[in-house]
Structure 1
Amino acid sequence: MDALIPRPRGALPRVCAVALAAMTAGSVVCLSPDRLFGWVAVVILILTLGPLLHGLCLAAEEVLNHSNTRYRGQRLLSRVLPACGFGGKTLLAAGLAGLLLYLAGPPLPHTEQCWKLLVLTSTLYALFKSLGVLGPSEVEVSDICEGRKMNAAHGLAWSFYLGYLRLVLPRLEDSIRAFCVTRKAFRGRGSRRLLILIPLNANISHKLEEEDDNIHFFDNLPNNEIDRAGIRGRVYKHSVYRVLDEHGKDHECVVEYATPLLTLYSMSQESSAGFGEPERRQQVLLFYRTLQEILERSLECRNRYKLILVNDEHEDDPHLLSKAILRHLQQQEREEFCITPPPQQELFNPFALMSSSPPSAPPMNGDCHLPEPMSREPTLMFSMEGPQPLKEAVEDTDHY
């Protein structure tokens, strides 16, 4: 599954840009070293004046039509202009480039040619930027949305955690314990977690037995009633299923789909949402990655869940779902229990220290009840007494 989940984008584009700029600057130094600083200043001015002119075009729209609705009448300099691209870094770069051009002089023989190049290039940049010709690529938009947590998957993952998992997972163990009092189930410790299914195609069936006939509904856990958002005693419940393996043995587990995937699937079916099938698959993977990162940092949910990413897009196996569940159950059993047998503990036999048994001693034919080995888990013991000095050796040998 690691090959399916997209990793966060790194700094390779920045490294490539720095290397390309270094090679270009080196080539310019070799060809015409006397005009290097002038050309650098002109290029920086072109690259900064263009975005500033485009920011003026954006500021005209924001100030005239959206100053009250989007910015609540806040000041022009403190809120509107920074939102339009008038950042401190851009203004500082433009100022330093202007100072460098003044000190180094224009690189072209005629000063008018240099200013014509600056004005014309900056104006055309603002024009093409407004028309979308120089707009950000899909990779840039995706990088911005992932970096600023602006994807639909991020919002759905946080909503699923804050509105559901953080409330029910701390109560899951008590619900299973109360369920086992009345019903004989959950023979393995690995099955006492909430298994959350995340299919890649986001197509969720409301009944698991309709997807796989090796999965059968068993019963519901006791309801958890929580006061939530003005609703007194809002009910949260989980369903217990029995999953059959290849030998016909059943395994009980608490399993359910991630309900936010219903939203992603419904959005992909609505043309007005602008959310196609490729975008849906990408959002499902981001949802899985984001939810996994959230739950790994949550102390309330630790060791109480298991995310199962089901790659069912190109699979025709009718038992794909049950195999995925059983594979994770077996993995949890191997993680929680020692595979090799524990070391044998020596039993204390008081009669083994005696060379011969007295007449009144119990028979040594194995019928006596020997004390059992210690089975309690080791615990830390702290002494409340202060540190004591070491005692000196005392000679107690009698000399004759």
Structure 2
Amino acid sequence: MFKGAEIKEEENRGQKKSLYSGSQQHTMQSLKDHDALIPRPRGTLPKVCAVALAAVTTGGTALLSPERLFGWVAMVILILTLGPLLHGLCLFAEEMIYHSHTRYQGRGLLSHVLPACGLGGKTLLATGLAGLLLYLAGHPLPHKGQCWKLLVLASALYALFKSLGVLGPSEVEVSDICEGRKMNVAHGLAWSFYLGYLRLVLPCLESSIAAFRATHQASRASWGRDSRKLLILVPLNANIAHKLEEEDDNISFYDNLPNSEIDRAGVRGRVYKHSVYSVSDEHGKAHECVVEYATPLLTLYSMSQESSAGFGEPERRQQVLLFYRTLLEILEHSLDCRNRYRLILLNDEHEDDPHFLSKAILRNLQQQEKEEFCLTPPPHQEMVHPLARAPGARAPDARAPDARAGNGDWHQPEPEPEPMSREPTLMFSLEKPQPLREPVENTYQ
């Protein structure tokens, strides 16, 4: 009798571990797919390469001409800093003559206008130190006049080429600056979407769904655990259909959630609403969920259609990925929105599949039902002595110690429901809760 219960429990535990392992593999594969699409923030590899290149060249110069090393280094630094200073003076002339009042509103010359033109303290300090070092080290060229002629000519030509765009920043540098300073279109749209919409409606979403389910009794069975979140669709091509059923005939509009009214920007009782859709799987079973596209993507798509915006398809795709990454980072750190949303990135490589959208939605719905987000091993289930539930068995004395408590195999039973009759703490299953042990016929009684 004991052996049959132990075998049954081991089988249940093996099924749980198998489900846990399969869900974990599915989660890791999904993360790898997203990592292959979403660009990561740029790192410090260019700086490391520049430092290594400068160290190698400086070391080579020290080996070839050690007596003139400091003079050469000082002259090169002076050329590299005098050029930006002259170019900054050219920019300063434009700003002071035409834009000092409109762009700077009469703010201080030293505190705002000069740094904006590149005439900051770091550049001035580097130029002064380089000039001092050159004076102390002596002139590295045979004739003293050649050194100053080279400095003046190189600096003037640098300012010219910089103004003509020959020495302008590359696309990678511009992208790095915009991403580092949060100046991209995607950053603004993501923050606007969060502050102006998601942060207002997501805290009320659970109560709206509860009210909806109370008035729609027939749909209760089709609401899963993850269906109580807002599914936000982010297509890479930013092409959004206003009706989901036009994209996939396995999706049909069901009803709207109760409206949420919030006083906003002088509008009393501004209405925010969500739509409930019924998504059918391959077996025809309906799954209801609250799903919508990320509205700011309409702006990105419209900008790419306007020639005056200078926003082509490659830039649009890059901005969509940055929008997804930025919005995900914002929502992950938001206490108001945590566990109330799910972002779904739609790859446009599967547009030939007429049911790609419904499959993507169902995959995300089922993922929450079957997987365990914690990547640690599943918790050890407590084992109850079989005689504790045997028919006609005497209830154990709570004061008496358990005979096998020392080896950790058995625990004292508690007057609680069956061990598997309530939902486990970390693991979720689509199956109905079942007891660990089924009734076993005892032929020896």
What are the within-5 Å matches in structure 2 for residues 1-400 of structure 1? Answer: 1-183=34-216, 184-185=219-220, 186-313=222-349, 315-335=351-371, 352-353=393-394, 372-373=417-418
Q: Measured at CA, do residues 340 and 318 of structure 1 come closer, stay the same or move farther in structure 2, by a change above 3 Å?
A: farther
Q: Measured at CA, do residues 137 and 189 of structure 1 come closer, stay the same or move farther in structure 2, by a change above 3 Å?
A: same
CA deviation after TM superposition for structure 1 residue 378, in Å: 11
CA deviation after TM superposition for structure 1 residue 372, in Å: 3.5
1:2 aligned counterpart, secondary structure: helix
Q: Measured at CA, do residues 342 and 243 of structure 1 come closer, stay the same or move farther in structure 2, by a change above 3 Å?
A: farther
Q: Measured at CA, do residues 182 and 200 of structure 1 come closer, stay the same or move farther in structure 2, by a change above 3 Å?
A: same
User: CA contact under 8 A between 1:221 and 1:240: conserved in structure 2?
Assistant: yes
CA deviation after TM superposition for structure 1 residue 353, in Å: 2.2
CA deviation after TM superposition for structure 1 residue 373, in Å: 4.0
The CA distance in 1 between the partners of 2:362 and 2:321, in whole Å, is 22
CA deviation after TM superposition for structure 1 residue 351, in Å: 5.3
CA deviation after TM superposition for structure 1 residue 315, in Å: 3.1
CA deviation after TM superposition for structure 1 residue 345, in Å: 5.1
Structure 1 residue aligned with 2:412: none
The CA distance in 2 between the partners of 1:371 and 1:124, in whole Å, is 85
Deviations 1:137-188 (A, max 9, x none): 0000000000000000000000000000000000000000001101133531
User: CA contact under 8 A between 2:350 and 2:356: conserved in structure 1?
Assistant: no
The CA distance in 1 between the partners of 2:373 and 2:42, in whole Å, is 37
Q: Measured at CA, do residues 84 and 208 of structure 1 come closer, stay the same or move farther in structure 2, by a change above 3 Å?
A: same
User: CA contact under 8 A between 2:223 and 2:289: conserved in structure 1?
Assistant: no
Give the residue type in structure 2 aligned to 1:372: P
User: CA contact under 8 A between 1:219 and 1:241: conserved in structure 2?
Assistant: yes
TM (norm. structure 1) is 0.87
Unpaired segments ≥5 residues, structure 2: 1-33, 397-414, 426-445
Deviations 1:15-59 (A, max 9, x none): 000010011011111111110000000000000000000000000
Percent identity of paired positions between Structure 1 and Structure 2: 79
Q: Measured at CA, do residues 329 and 340 of structure 1 come closer, stay the same or move farther in structure 2, by a change above 3 Å?
A: farther
The CA distance in 2 between the partners of 1:99 and 1:341, in whole Å, is 72
Q: Measured at CA, do residues 53 and 354 of structure 1 come closer, stay the same or move farther in structure 2, by a change above 3 Å?
A: closer
The CA distance in 1 between the partners of 2:55 and 2:295, in whole Å, is 50
The CA distance in 1 between the partners of 2:35 and 2:91, in whole Å, is 42
Unpaired segments ≥5 residues, structure 1: 356-369, 380-400
The CA distance in 1 between the partners of 2:395 and 2:206, in whole Å, is 50
Give the residue type in structure 2 aligned to 1:259: T
CA deviation after TM superposition for structure 1 residue 69, in Å: 0.5
Q: Measured at CA, do residues 345 and 244 of structure 1 come closer, stay the same or move farther in structure 2, by a change above 3 Å?
A: farther
User: CA contact under 8 A between 1:202 and 1:284: conserved in structure 2?
Assistant: yes
User: CA contact under 8 A between 1:264 and 1:280: conserved in structure 2?
Assistant: yes
1:353 aligned counterpart, secondary structure: coil
Task: Decide which moves more: 334-343 or 82-91.
Answer: 334-343
1:35 aligned counterpart, secondary structure: helix
The CA distance in 1 between the partners of 2:246 and 2:160, in whole Å, is 56
Residues matched between the structures, number: 365
User: CA contact under 8 A between 1:197 and 1:309: conserved in structure 2?
Assistant: yes
1:309 aligned counterpart, secondary structure: strand
Instruction: Report the structure number with the largest CA radius of gyration.
Output: 1
Deviations 1:170-215 (A, max 9, x none): 0000000001101133531111100000000000000000000111
Task: Decide which moves more: 260-269 or 342-351.
Answer: 342-351
Give the residue type in structure 2 aligned to 1:319: H
Higher RCO, 1 vs 2 (CA within 8 Å, ≥6 residues apart): 2
The CA distance in 2 between the partners of 1:334 and 1:45, in whole Å, is 64
The CA distance in 2 between the partners of 1:52 and 1:141, in whole Å, is 21
User: CA contact under 8 A between 1:220 and 1:240: conserved in structure 2?
Assistant: yes
